[in-house]
Amino acid sequence: MADVTTHEHAPHVHVTPLTTYFLVFFALAIGTILTVAASRFDLGMWNTPIALVIATIKAVLVILFFMHVIHSTRLTWVVIVASFLWLGVLFVLTFADYLTRVWKIY
């Protein structure tokens, strides 16, 4: 332990520019308007996927920029990716059961 710290290492501060925050905000607002607008039209089977895709894009924008994950450590990325992976397992395995009951006895 030759290199005993004589001063404290402050956290690495990455200050996001204001323009980034405001651009993300406007993208989220436009996404909300698009969600409402898309729900007003009968797009057949596409209404639900469109709403899901817009919501997912909005969530990714919040996670990357508002939650600063874009500048986070690899370990934080692993935790986040793993949590959504498990969420995927939860949905895929459950639907693999319910959606394949062709006799429609739920």
The residue count of the chain comes to: 106
DSSP annotation of 15 reads P
Residues 7-26 contacting other proteins, CB under 8 A: 7-13, 15-16, 18, 21-22, 24-25
**Which string of DSSP letters, residue by residue, matches 26-91?**
HHHHHHHHHHHHHHTS--GGGHHHHHHHHHHHHHHHIIIIIS-GGGS-HHHHHHHHHHHHHHHHHH
Q: Minimal distance in Å, beta carbon 44 to other proteins? A: 9
Residues 26-85 contacting other proteins, CB under 8 A: 28-29, 32, 35-36, 39-40, 42-43, 47-48, 51-52, 54-55, 58-59, 62-63, 65-68, 72-73, 75-76, 79-80, 82-84
99 lies in the site for other proteins, by CB under 8 A: yes
Q: Minimal distance in Å, beta carbon 19 to other proteins? A: 12
